[in-house]
C-alpha cells in the first residue's frame, strides 16, 4: 500500500515538473517573439524643473512645537509651481481635529479658505498634508495657519513667502 502511494506521488510530481517545464518554455518563446516586435526605448526619469522648500517651527501654548514644511515644485518648463504643505505636531490634543487655513494680506474682498484637516491620534500625533495648494509659495502676501477645529483657536502660522527668505511666523493672527 505504501509502495503504491509512493508511486502515485512520484507520478504526480513528474507530471507537475513536465507542466512547469512546458510553461517556462512557452513564456521564453513569447518573450523572444515580443522582443522582436517592439524596439526597446530608454526610460529617462522626469525631474522637476524648479523646486524649493522651507521648514518652520511654530510654538504652541503648551511649550511644544508644530513643524510646517512648505514645498514648491515646477514640474516642467512653463508650468505653474505646485505648492504642498505638511504639518506635524506631536503634542496635539488626542482625538481633536485640526485644520490648515490660508489667506492673503490686503485687498478688499479677501476671504480665508480651508486647505486640509486632520485628527490627532491617541498619542497626540497630528499630521496634515495639503497637496497642490492654490497659492504661490513665493508670494509675500500669502499666509497659512494651523487651528483647532473645536474652538477655532489659532496655534500659529506663517506669512509668506513660504519658500525663500522673508517668511514671518505668528502666534494668533497674520502680521499684515
Taking the domains of the chain in order of start, what are their residue ranges? 1-44, 50-170
CATH of 50-170 given 2.20.25, 2.30.29, 2.60.40, 3.30.499: 2.60.40
Say which residue, 110 or 2, is predicted with more confidence: 110
At residue 18, φ and ψ (nearest 5 deg) are -65, -45
The mean pLDDT value of the chain amounts to 76
pLDDT at 110: 63
Kindly indicate the confidence band of residue 109, based on its pLDDT and cuts at 50, 70 and 90. Answer: low
pLDDT at 35: 52
Residue 133 has pLDDT above 70, yes or no: yes
Kindly indicate the confidence band of residue 170, based on its pLDDT and cuts at 50, 70 and 90. Answer: confident
Residue 99 has pLDDT above 90, yes or no: yes
Amino acid at each position: 500500500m505504501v509502495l503504491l502511494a509512493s508511486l502515485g506521488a512520484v507520478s504526480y510530481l513528474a507530471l507537475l515538473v513536465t507542466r512547469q517545464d512546458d510553461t517556462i518554455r512557452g513564456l521564453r518563446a513569447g518573450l523572444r517573439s515580443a522582443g522582436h516586435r517592439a524596439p526597446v526605448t530608454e526610460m529617462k526619469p522626469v525631474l522637476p524643473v524648479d523646486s524649493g522648500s522651507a521648514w518652520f517651527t511654530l510654538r504652541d501654548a503648551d511649550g511644544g512645537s508644530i513643524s510646517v514644511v512648505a514645498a514648491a515644485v515646477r514640474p516642467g518648463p512653463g508650468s505653474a509651481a505646485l505648492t504642498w504643505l505638511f504639518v506635524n505636531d506631536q503634542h496635539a490634543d488626542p482625538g481633536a481635529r485640526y485644520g490648515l487655513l490660508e489667506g492673503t494680506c490686503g485687498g478688499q474682498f479677501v476671504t480665508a479658505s480651508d486647505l486640509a484637516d486632520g485628527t490627532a491620534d491617541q498619542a497626540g500625533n497630528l499630521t496634515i498634508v495639503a497637496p497642490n495648494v492654490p497659492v504661490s509659495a513665493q508670494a509675500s502676501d500669502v499666509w497659512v495657519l494651523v487651528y483647532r477645529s473645536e474652538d477655532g483657536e489659532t496655534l500659529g502660522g506663517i506669512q509668506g513667502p513660504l519658500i525663500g527668505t522673508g517668511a514671518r511666523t505668528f502666534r494668533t493672527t497674520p502680521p499684515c
